[in-house]
């Protein structure tokens, strides 16, 4: 039982990342009708915003500390980060420590700008062209973005820690009436799950309860009619693209403590997120989120040693197997609507 | 001749000429000169050009004719490679059985994948092939390690139980792949003044295979079957209404292109007998898509050009490092030299993928027909100019009455 709950927790976590990326992909599918292979790159950029901020906070200068001496008796040289100089030692250390959550604040405008630039500068010209062209051009863009990041940050993963307060583990089991230490789970992963839930909730609320969201949903259903009603749907769709970029970027920011960012993390997650979108049903936001969590949980169950002993290698292929089975039995995906992406 | 019409025959002869004289064409600069950097006439690269050319021609049969964009074609290449190495381990170092088995195994796999994937079209098809290929990659990397060698890859070893032929040579080495005694790695060098041209058995073997494969592709493009595939591309549902089931045709195209990929994989191990899972990762499938697009999808020669350009640039650009750049721009004043090098450096050497990505985006955006369309546009430009000139000439020489 404990093992099962642990696996569900594990799965929810991975599922959160899948769901967030897939949510953005589906938003772009549904609103703009564009297959965005560069969406994984947006996730990666988000992660590297966190890395960059961490580096900026750690920028330091050398001072000679007269009070301490090294073993030769000379005064010691100490590195003092600028933030500690400006904000005082204690606040400065806290700022450095909280670099990942603080990166959210920076990432939102950056991702929005990148999203708008992408949509206005490139994607706009591909609405009328076949899906194959959209896949190809965004695939090219993904390569370019990933290579730029590689040129600046190198090819090695860059560990970026979570704040001290969230380091270590939390005894989830005791909270729900198990023996102490039966189910212990890292704090940050719980934070990630909560964060994903909040972001997903916010996106849904935005689409459901605001006039803007209503118009966008109408535009998803019938773009031309909304245009005829005199609404500038293009501008709203650009905003939707920016929102999708922000969602992907935030997923990346918060994922950095779990997986040290490297330049190809976007491509790694992209394939899985596409599979998630297809399983969930193209154009269905609920489907993307549900399928993200479902596949995440399935994947973590499949990587239990008991299951691997039974069917070797199942952890590697479970997602693809599920995708293939779903597509063959329910061609529209679990919650797909009729007529979306069916030529 | 050969059942080809005039234009196709001309194209075929051009390709044959390119294949035969490639060691000369790719080696235009004398040895030791500053431009020798750009020589691509060494066997390794020539073989690669031809092998990826075959891969791209095969991919084009599917994507160019039917419009089904497969993002999983590297799986067939990888499977072909594994099959080829196993054939060499178990049966003989002769490359012919290895190639045959590579093609057959890749064909079998493509029947399975194609049968399932072709139930869906458009973006779903792309994702399905992508999923299948990633599945093959993961399996080759993990569970199938006894067959595929997992992370280290599959290589020949000194104690392979080779049925025909020895498992090691008299000197105690692993025997080299050969074609009835002609070793793939042997080559002859022809020194001609400052130039040196290398003629490699392996390259010419690949070139002959390519010539045959390209001939088959031309015949297929011009056959009624090829016409059927074009019909699938232009309007699938209309084809269904006329009472034809398009799926068997699409499946046949899928399997044929899978077999081409398997052939390319088999040739790869015939040149260098090792196979690894990284050949099957999905970005490798993306690469062949890039080749076809860059050259010109749906044209006969396009994919070969695309494969050639990408593989050539990959080998040449990725070897340019900052020292070489500094040599090139040494004539500039110091500050300017450093600036120019700093600007160019991210795009060469390790950054070559950045160049590739940018070029590819530009091609998709501005030149959807690829290099072939670019060539046509340039040719048209000149033709129109000449036509204008002659029109003007005749007009001035003899103005027609009544105008």
DSSP 8-state code for residue A37: T
Among residues A242, A205, A273, the alpha carbon closest in space to that of A18 is found at A273
Instruction: Tell me the pLDDT tens digit for each residue of A39-53.
Output: 999 999 999 999 999
A107 touches chain B (CB under 8 A): no
Q: What is the pLDDT of residue A304?
A: 81
Instruction: Enter the pTM of the model.
Output: 0.85
Mutation target among B357, B359, B367, B368 for the A interface, most CBs of A within 10 A: B357
Instruction: Tell me the pLDDT tens digit for each residue of A89-101.
Output: 788 888 888 888 8
A278 touches chain B (CB under 8 A): yes
Instruction: Tell me the pLDDT tens digit for each residue of B153-178.
Output: 888 888 778 877 777 777 777 888 88
Cβ <8 Å between B141 and A321: no
Q: What is the pLDDT of residue B398?
A: 45
Q: Is B14 within the bounds of a domain?
A: yes
Q: Is B295 within the bounds of a domain?
A: no
Token pair belonging to B119: 């139930």
Q: Is the pLDDT of residue A338 over 70?
A: no
Q: Is A342 within the bounds of a domain?
A: no
Q: Report CA torsion sign: B175, B178, B184, B189.
A: positive
Q: What is the pLDDT of residue A343?
A: 44
**Region B379-398 average pLDDT:** 68
Task: Provide the pLDDT confidence category of residue B400 given band limits of 50, 70 and 90.
Answer: very low
Mutation target among B127, B128, B349 for the A interface, most CBs of A within 10 A: B127
Of these ranges, A154-163, A171-180, B204-213, the one predicted with the greatest mean pLDDT is B204-213
Neighbours of A321 (CB within 10 A): 15
Q: Is A340 within the bounds of a domain?
A: no
* Residues of chain A neighbouring B286 (CB-CB closer than 8 A): 139
Task: Provide the pLDDT confidence category of residue B209 given band limits of 50, 70 and 90.
Answer: very high
Instruction: Name the more confident of A274 and B189.
Output: A274
Token pair belonging to A127: 């609405």
CB A60 within 8 A of CB A80: yes
B138 touches chain A (CB under 8 A): yes
Task: Provide the pLDDT confidence category of residue B213 given band limits of 50, 70 and 90.
Answer: very high
**Region A230-239 average pLDDT:** 83
Neighbours of A295 (CB within 10 A): 27
Q: What is the pLDDT of residue B250?
A: 92
Q: CA A17 to CA A10: how far, in whole Å?
A: 12
What stretch of H or E contains A47? helix A39-58
ipTM of the modeled complex: 0.81
Owning domain of residue B114: 6-26+38-279
Q: What is the pLDDT of residue A113?
A: 95
Task: Provide the pLDDT confidence category of residue A112 given band limits of 50, 70 and 90.
Answer: very high
Instruction: Tally the domains of chain B.
Output: 1
Q: What is the pLDDT of residue B402?
A: 43
Q: Is B320 within the bounds of a domain?
A: no
Q: Is B171 within the bounds of a domain?
A: yes
Q: Is A336 within the bounds of a domain?
A: no
Q: Is A153 within the bounds of a domain?
A: yes
Output the average pLDDT for chain A: 85
Instruction: Name the more confident of B350 and A295.
Output: A295
A341 touches chain B (CB under 8 A): yes
Q: Is the pLDDT of residue B180 over 50?
A: yes
* Residues of chain B neighbouring A151 (CB-CB closer than 8 A): 346, 351, 354
Q: Is the pLDDT of residue B243 over 80?
A: yes
Instruction: Decide: helix, strand or coil at residue A77.
Output: strand
Q: What is the pLDDT of residue B108?
A: 96
Token pair belonging to B87: 């054939």
B232 touches chain A (CB under 8 A): no
Instruction: Name the more confident of B194 and B343.
Output: B343
Mutation target among B126, B292, B350, B364 for the A interface, most CBs of A within 10 A: B364
* Residues of chain A neighbouring B346 (CB-CB closer than 8 A): 151
Neighbours of A281 (CB within 10 A): 25
Of these ranges, A4-13, A71-80, A93-102, B73-82, the one predicted with the greatest mean pLDDT is B73-82
Cβ <8 Å between B138 and A316: yes
Token pair belonging to B42: 């060494």
**Region B209-229 average pLDDT:** 92
Q: Is B353 within the bounds of a domain?
A: no
The residue written with tokens 């993200």 in the block is A292
Cβ <8 Å between B127 and A278: yes
Of these ranges, A254-263, B91-100, B256-265, the one predicted with the greatest mean pLDDT is B256-265
Q: Is B323 within the bounds of a domain?
A: no
Instruction: Tell me the pLDDT tens digit for each residue of B306-350.
Output: 998 888 888 888 888 777 777 777 787 888 888 888 888 878 777
B123 touches chain A (CB under 8 A): yes
Q: Is the pLDDT of residue A230 over 70?
A: yes
User: Per mean pLDDT, which range of A297-311, B63-77, B92-106, B216-230 is the poorest?
Assistant: A297-311
Cβ <8 Å between B119 and A144: no
Task: Provide the pLDDT confidence category of residue A340 given band limits of 50, 70 and 90.
Answer: low
Instruction: Tell me the pLDDT tens digit for each residue of B2-36.
Output: 777 888 888 899 889 988 888 888 877 777 776 77
Q: What is the pLDDT of residue B401?
A: 44
Q: What percent of chain B has pLDDT over 70?
A: 95
Q: What is the pLDDT of residue B392?
A: 62
CB B59 within 8 A of CB B222: no
Token pair belonging to B137: 């990659």
Among residues A187, A217, A189, A194, the alpha carbon closest in space to that of A205 is found at A217
**Region B90-119 average pLDDT:** 92
Instruction: Tally the domains of chain A.
Output: 1
Chain centroid offset of residue A77 CA: 40
**Region A165-192 average pLDDT:** 79
Cα distances (angstroms) measured from residue A281 to each of A299, A331, B125, B402: 19, 8, 14, 69
Owning domain of residue A101: 2-329
Q: What percent of chain B has pLDDT over 90?
A: 24
Q: Is A210 within the bounds of a domain?
A: yes
Q: Is the pLDDT of residue A341 over 70?
A: no
Token pair belonging to A67: 């009070």
A141 touches chain B (CB under 8 A): yes
Q: What is the pLDDT of residue B397?
A: 47
Q: What is the pLDDT of residue B394?
A: 53
Q: Is A161 within the bounds of a domain?
A: yes
Task: Provide the pLDDT confidence category of residue A308 given band limits of 50, 70 and 90.
Answer: confident
Q: CA B279 to CA B265: how far, in whole Å?
A: 9
Q: CA B136 to CA A19: how far, in whole Å?
A: 24
**C-alpha dihedral (A184, A189, A192, A194), degrees to nearest 10:** -10
């Amino acid at each position: 039982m404990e093992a099962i709950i642990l696996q569900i927790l594990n799965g929810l976590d991975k599922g959160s990342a899948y769901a967030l990326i897939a949510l953005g992909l589906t938003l772009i599918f549904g609103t703009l009708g564009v297959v965005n292979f560069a969406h994984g790159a947006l996730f990666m950029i988000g992660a590297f915003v966190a890395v960059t901020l961490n580096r900026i906070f750690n920028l330091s200068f050398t001072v000679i500390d007269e009070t301490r001496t090294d073993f030769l008796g000379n005064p010691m040289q100490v590195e003092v980060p600028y933030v500690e100089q400006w904000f005082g030692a204690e606040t400065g250390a806290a700022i450095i420590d909280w670099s990942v959550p603080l990166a959210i604040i920076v990432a939102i405008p950056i991702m929005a700008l990148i999203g708008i630039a992408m949509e206005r500068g490139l994607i706009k010209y591909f609405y009328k062209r076949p899906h194959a062209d959209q896949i190809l051009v965004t695939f090219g863009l993904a390569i370019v973005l990933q290579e730029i990041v590689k040129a600046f940050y190198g090819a090695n993963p860059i560990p970026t820690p979570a704040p001290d307060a969230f380091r270590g583990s939390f005894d989830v089991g005791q909270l729900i009436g198990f023996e102490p230490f039966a189910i212990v789970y890292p704090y940050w992963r719980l934070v990630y799950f909560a964060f994903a839930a909040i972001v997903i909730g916010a996106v849904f609320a935005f689409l459901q309860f605001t006039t803007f969201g209503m118009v966008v949903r109408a535009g998803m259903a019938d773009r031309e009619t909304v245009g005829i009603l005199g609404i500038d749907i293009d501008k709203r769709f650009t905003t939707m693209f920016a929102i999708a970029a922000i969602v992907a970027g935030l997923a990346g920011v918060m994922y950095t403590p779990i997986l040290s960012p490297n330049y190809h993390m976007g491509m790694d997650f992209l394939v899985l997120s596409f599979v998630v979108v297809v399983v969930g049903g193209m154009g269905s936001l609920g489907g993307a989120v549900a399928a993200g969590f479902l596949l995440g949980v399935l994947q973590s169950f499949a990587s239990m040693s008991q299951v691997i002993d039974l069917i070797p290698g199942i952890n590697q292929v479970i997602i693809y197997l599920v995708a293939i089975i779903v597509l063959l039995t329910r061609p529209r995906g679990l919650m797909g609507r009729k007529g979306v992406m069916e030529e | 001749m050969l059942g080809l019409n005039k234009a196709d025959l001309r194209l075929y002869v051009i390709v044959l000429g390119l294949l035969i004289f490639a060691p000369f064409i790719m080696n235009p600069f004398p040895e030791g000169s500053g431009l020798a950097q750009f020589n691509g006439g060494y066997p390794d690269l020539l073989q690669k050009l031809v092998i990826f050319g075959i891969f791209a021609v095969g991919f084009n049969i599917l994507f160019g004719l039917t419009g089904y964009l497969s993002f999983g074609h590297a799986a067939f290449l990888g499977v072909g490679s594994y099959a080829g190495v196993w054939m060499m381990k178990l049966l003989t170092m002769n490359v012919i059985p290895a190639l045959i088995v590579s093609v057959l195994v890749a064909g079998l796999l493509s029947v399975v994948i194609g049968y399932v994937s072709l139930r869906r079209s458009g973006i779903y098809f792309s994702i399905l092939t992508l999923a299948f290929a990633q599945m093959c990659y993961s399996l080759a990397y993990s569970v199938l390690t006894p067959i595929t060698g997992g992370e280290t890859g599959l290589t020949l070893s000194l104690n392979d139980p080779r049925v025909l032929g020895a498992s090691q040579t008299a000197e105690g080495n692993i025997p080299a792949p050969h074609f009835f005694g002609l070793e793939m790695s042997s080559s002859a060098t022809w020194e001609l003044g400052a130039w040196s041209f290398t003629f490699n058995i392996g390259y010419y073997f690949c070139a002959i295979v390519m010539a045959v494969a390209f001939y088959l592709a031309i015949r297929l493009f011009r056959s009624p079957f090829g016409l059927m595939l074009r019909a699938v591309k232009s309007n699938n549902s209309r084809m269904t209404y006329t009472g034809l089931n398009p799926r068997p045709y699409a499946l046949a195209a899928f399997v044929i292109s899978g077999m081409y990929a398997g052939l390319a994989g088999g040739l790869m191990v015939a040149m260098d007998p090792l196979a690894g899972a990284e050949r099957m990762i999905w970005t490798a499938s993306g690469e062949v898509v890039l080749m076809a697009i860059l050259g010109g999808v749906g044209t006969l020669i396009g994919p070969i050009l695309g494969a050639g350009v990408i593989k050539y640039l990959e080998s040449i650009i990725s070897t340019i490092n900052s020292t070489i750049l500094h040599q090139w721009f040494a004539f500039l004043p110091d500050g300017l030299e450093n600036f120019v090098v700093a600007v160019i450096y991210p795009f060469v050497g390790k950054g070559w993928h950045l160049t590739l990505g940018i070029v590819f985006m530009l091609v998709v955006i501005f030149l959807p027909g690829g290099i072939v369309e670019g060539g046509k546009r340039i040719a048209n430009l000149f033709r129109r100019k000449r036509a204008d000139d002659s029109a003007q000439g005749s007009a001035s020489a003899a103005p027609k009455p009544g105008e």
